[in-house]
Amino acid sequence: SPLIQIRKLSKNYSTKGGDITAALSLVDLDVAPGEFVALVGPSGCGKTTLLKILAGLVGEYRGEVLLNGKPVRKPSSEVGFVFQEPTLLPWRTILENILLPVELVNLDMKVYRDRALDLMAMTGLAGFENKYPKELSGGMRQRAGICRALVRDPKVLLMDEPFGSLDAMTREFMNEELQRIWLDSGKTILFVTHSIPEAVFLADRVVIMSPRPGKISEIVPVNLPRP
Ligand code: ADP
Ligand code: ADP
């Protein structure tokens, strides 16, 4: 059975002036455990809104959004979020940034510190534990953002154009890195991108959203052989 089930999801935002923006309209989507789904579509079609709802960051919506059969209304440890910009706190070291989601809920730091160090080693950040964000390249900061999203071992990883601000070579390298993380961890990943080649390289399935209000217009199976 699907890990994520979305049925007739609609989301309106009301603005200060009293206007209403329809961000999503009657979206249906299922995602199987371990699947890598890429979400593409024009700016403003509701991709970020869809991810934020799945992350529990937007609790008000119409329709059904289920994770493991349970309605999603608030953030949980089962979902990690990688933002467009890694939003690391400049006054904290890389390791302290990665451990932030653990610290915020008072979990056992010793256990998670080892996990954070493993993740850093896995993503080529070993040796940078005590550096500050400004001492790292953009690609390395984005990798730290991925470590932070993975530190509580979520089932689902949501990624909102994570490599959009990187140069082409770093981006290609990060794509290979992410594919390796996915193959090693078996996480379920939803990945928003503007790049069709990136979507096709990474995903099992490419979901195309049509312009406002966001609606899923096409689902293209990719099913390329995996390395
Ligand atoms: P994206 O790069 O995904 O298209 P935007 O740059 O449109 O995102 O939006 C950046 C942030 O601003 C988002 O978190 C979104 O929720 C918020 N936002 C976007 N449009 C509006 C709006 N009309 N009013 C208030 N907030 C908005
Ligand atoms: P995308 O990620 O595909 O660019 P978004 O989900 O950011 O799309 O936005 C979808 C629509 O909702 C856009 O018209 C955007 O301006 C609007 N929107 C997003 N966030 C907000 C917000 N917090 N308040 C008002 N309008 C918003």
**Distance between start and end Cα atoms, the chain:** 26
Give the residue from 177, 225, 175 showing the smallest Cα distance to 204: 225
Cβ 160 vs Cβ 187: under 8 Å: no
Q: Which pTM value belongs to this model?
A: 0.85
Best-predicted range by mean pLDDT among 58-67, 77-86, 106-115?
58-67
Strand pairing report for 62-67 and 205-210: unpaired
* Strand positions, DSSP E, 15-136: 20-31, 36-40, 62-67, 70-71, 79-82
- Give the distance (Å) from ligand 2 centre to CA of residue 210: 14
Give the residue from 143, 107, 112, 146 showing the smallest Cα distance to 128: 143
160 CA closest ligand 1 atom index:
3
- Give the distance (Å) from ligand 2 centre to CA of residue 130: 36
> 227: cis peptide before it, omega within 30°?
no
Which whole number is the average pLDDT over 62-85? 93
- Give the distance (Å) from ligand 1 centre to CA of residue 49: 9
The protein residue with its alpha carbon nearest to ligand 1, atom 13, reads 48
- Give the distance (Å) from ligand 1 centre to CA of residue 157: 21
| Complete DSSP assignment for 72-93 | --S--TTEEEE-SS----TTS-
What's the Cα-to-Cα distance from 50 to each of 1, 63, 190, rounded to whole Å? Answer: 21, 12, 10
49 CA closest ligand 2 atom index:
6
Best-predicted range by mean pLDDT among 76-85, 131-140, 165-174?
131-140
220: tokens are: 């293209």
Which whole number is the average pLDDT over 91-109? 90
| The pLDDT of residue 192 | 96
Which whole number is the average pLDDT over 90-105? 93
Give the tens place of pLDDT for each residue, 25-36: 999 999 999 999
Give the tens place of pLDDT for each residue, 109-161: 888 999 999 999 988 899 999 999 999 998 899 999 999 999 999 999 999 99
DSSP 117: H
User: Given a cut of 90, is residue 99 above it in pLDDT?
Assistant: yes
The protein residue with its alpha carbon nearest to ligand 1, atom 14, reads 48
